[in-house]
C-alpha cells in the first residue's frame, strides 16, 4: 500500500469514527425535545386519573346493591319462599320479614314486574344519612323484539356493619 492509499484509508476511518460518534451522542436540541415529551407524557397520564368524589356510603352501598342484583338476575327471579331464603343475606331484617309474610305473587318485588329483566346497572346515589342511601337501578330488557329500560329506586341501610336492601320502589 502506498503512502497516498494509506492517507486516504486513515481519513476514511476518521470520518467514519466522527460520524458514528456524532450519531450516538444526542444533540442538545433532541435531548431537550425527548425530555419534554417524557415530562408531558407523565403529566397527561397523571392528569387522566379522575378523583373519586363519591361519598364512602355510596360506594359501599353501591357494591352491596350490585352484588344483590347480579345474584338476583343471574338466578331464578320468580318469587318463592325458597328464592327469598337464598336472598336473605342481602336483605334487611325488616324487608325479609315483610316479604316472608306476604302472599305469593308472580310480580317480582325487586324489579317491580313479572316480565323479568336481562340486565341492570346501578346508577345515581343519594345519601340520606350515614346509614341510609337511595340508589337508582336501571333495568334492561333487550331481545330481537324490543330494547327497553326502566329505573327503580333501591333504599339500602347499614345493619350490623353491612349494607342491605331495605326497600325497592318505582319513582
DSSP state, residue 99: H
**d(Cα 119, Cα 139) in Å, to the nearest integer?**
6
Report residue 14 as a C-alpha cell. Answer: 476518521
Q: What residue spans define the domains of the chain? A: 3-47, 56-169
Which pLDDT value is given to residue 142? 86
- State the Cα torsion 101-104-107-111 to the nearest 10°: 40
DSSP 48: T
User: CATH assignment of 56-169, given 1.20.120.550, 3.90.226.10, 3.10.450.50, 3.30.70.1450?
Assistant: 3.10.450.50
pLDDT of residue 133: 96
pLDDT of residue 30: 61
pLDDT in tens, the chain (171 residues): 565 665 666 655 555 555 544 454 555 566 666 777 777 777 666 666 666 678 889 999 999 999 999 999 999 888 888 999 999 999 999 999 999 998 778 889 999 888 889 899 999 999 999 999 999 999 999 888 888 999 999 999 999 999 999 999 987
Which residue's C-alpha cell is 386519573?
49
Q: What is the pLDDT of residue 114?
A: 87
For residue 146, the model assigns a pLDDT of: 82
Q: What is the pLDDT of residue 10?
A: 61
- How far, in Å, CA of 81 to CA of 105, rounded? 11
Amino acid at each position: 500500500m502506498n503512502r497516498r492509499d494509506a492517507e486516504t484509508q486513515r481519513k476514511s476511518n476518521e470520518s467514519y469514527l466522527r460520524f458514528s460518534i456524532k450519531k450516538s451522542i444526542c444533540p442538545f436540541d433532541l435531548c431537550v425535545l425527548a425530555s419534554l415529551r417524557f415530562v408531558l407524557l407523565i403529566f397527561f397520564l397523571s392528569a387522566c386519573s379522575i378523583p373519586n368524589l363519591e361519598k364512602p356510603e355510596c360506594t359501599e352501598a353501591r357494591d352491596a346493591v350490585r352484588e344483590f342484583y347480579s345474584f338476583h338476575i343471574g338466578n331464578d327471579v320468580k318469587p318463592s319462599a325458597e328464592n327469598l331464603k337464598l336472598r336473605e343475606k342481602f336483605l334487611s331484617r325488616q324487608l325479609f320479614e315483610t316479604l316472608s309474610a306476604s302472599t305469593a305473587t308472580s310480580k317480582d318485588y325487586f324489579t317491580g314486574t313479572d316480565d323479568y329483566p336481562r340486565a341492570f346497572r346501578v346508577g345515581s346515589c343519594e345519601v340520606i344519612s350515614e346509614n341510609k342511601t337511595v340508589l337508582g337501578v336501571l333495568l334492561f330488557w333487550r331481545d330481537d323484539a324490543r330494547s327497553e329500560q326502566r329505573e327503580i329506586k333501591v333504599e339500602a341501610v347499614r345493619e350490623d356493619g353491612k349494607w342491605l336492601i331495605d326497600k325497592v320502589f318505582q319513582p
